[in-house]
């Protein structure tokens, strides 16, 4: 598999294109459609995975899904966030047509084209935050960064839920961390940071 990263204008959020032969998965949709099209090339896009419903990760979701004729996968709580600019922080951004969406809850195994995807609910940064494991890559959204974790002071944020999500991440099997902002990392590099943040949140 080949992983490409695009950094968007919206808060430097990351959009990923994961290719496997002639198929692609797109993870988050803050990057403009033309940029995504250039990376995808002639491959078939079989799905779009949203890590959560904040505008900087979902702004072009419907553009992507409509152009590539693919399904958008997201946690069931994302509908509330995506439909309200005050909750997704997009000023006027809102999605009201969810006909392209397939929602899940908790943990689910998804077969999307040639990709085996583990979808994992990871609340804390938001109620709809989740991660996806595809192969050895963990798409962490805004839950886990290189040497950092997601903020909890936005709508639906919770320090207690983030603590539980970080503990869950420790039990997952993956090698690469592809985060919603910043550089990619590895589970090996982030193990110590996870322990530090878990200790910190346990005392708060």
| Share of residues in the chain with pLDDT > 70 (%) | 100
At 202, the pLDDT band (50, 70, 90 cuts) reads confident
Q: Average pLDDT for residues 27-39, to the nearest whole number?
A: 97
Token duo for residue 192: 């110590």
Count of domains observed in the chain? 1
Task: Inform me whether the pLDDT recorded for 80 exceeds 60.
Answer: yes
Contacts 24+ apart (CB under 8 A), 102-105: 102/71, 102/72, 102/73, 102/74, 103/73, 103/74, 103/75, 103/76, 103/78, 103/79, 104/73, 104/74, 104/75, 104/76, 105/75, 105/76
| Share of residues in the chain with pLDDT > 90 (%) | 93
Residue 203's contacts (CB-CB under 8 Å, 6 or more residues apart) are none
CB neighbourhood size of 8 (10 A): 20
* Percent helix, percent strand, percent coil in the chain, to nearest 5: 30, 35, 40
Range of the domain at 94: 2-203
**Looking at the whole model, is its pTM more than 0.85?**
yes
Question: What is the CATH classification number for the domain harbouring 56?
Answer: 3.60.15.10
At 114, the pLDDT band (50, 70, 90 cuts) reads very high
Provide the 3-class DSSP secondary structure of residue 60: coil
At 130, the pLDDT band (50, 70, 90 cuts) reads very high
How open is the CA angle 181-114-37, to the nearest 5 degrees? 50
Q: Average pLDDT for residues 94-123, to the nearest whole number?
A: 96
At 204, the pLDDT band (50, 70, 90 cuts) reads low
Task: Inform me whether the pLDDT recorded for 161 exceeds 60.
Answer: yes
Residue 130: what are its φ and ψ, rounded to 5°? -150, 170
Provide the 3-class DSSP secondary structure of residue 22: coil
**pLDDT in the model for residue 46:** 98
| Residue 30 DSSP code | -
d(CA 30, CA 8): 5
Q: Average pLDDT for residues 140-147, to the nearest whole number?
A: 95
Residue 35's contacts (CB-CB under 8 Å, 6 or more residues apart) are 6, 15
């Amino acid at each position: 598999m080949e992983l490409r990263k695009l950094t968007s204008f919206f808060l430097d959020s990351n959009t990923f294109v994961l290719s496997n032969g002639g198929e692609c998965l797109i993870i988050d949709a803050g990057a403009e459609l033309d940029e995504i099209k250039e990376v995808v090339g002639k491959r078939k896009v079989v799905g779009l995975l949203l890590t959560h419903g904040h505008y900087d990760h979902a702004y072009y979701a419907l553009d992507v899904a409509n152009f590539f004729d693919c399904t958008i996968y997201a946690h069931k709580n994302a509908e509330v966030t995506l439909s309200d600019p005050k909750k997704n922080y997009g000023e006027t951004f809102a999605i009201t047509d969810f006909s392209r969406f397939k929602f899940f809850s908790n943990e689910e195994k998804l077969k999307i084209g040639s990709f085996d995807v583990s979808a994992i609910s990871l609340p804390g940064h938001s109620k709809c935050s989740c991660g996806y494991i595809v192969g050895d890559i963990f798409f962490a959204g805004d839950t886990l960064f290189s040497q950092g974790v997601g903020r909890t002071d936005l709508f639906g944020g919770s320090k207690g839920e983030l603590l539980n999500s970080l503990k869950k991440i420790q039990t997952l099997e993956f090698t690469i961390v592809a985060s919603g902002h910043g550089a990619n990392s590895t589970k090996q590099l982030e193990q110590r940071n996870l322990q530090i943040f878990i200790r910190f949140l346990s005392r708060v």
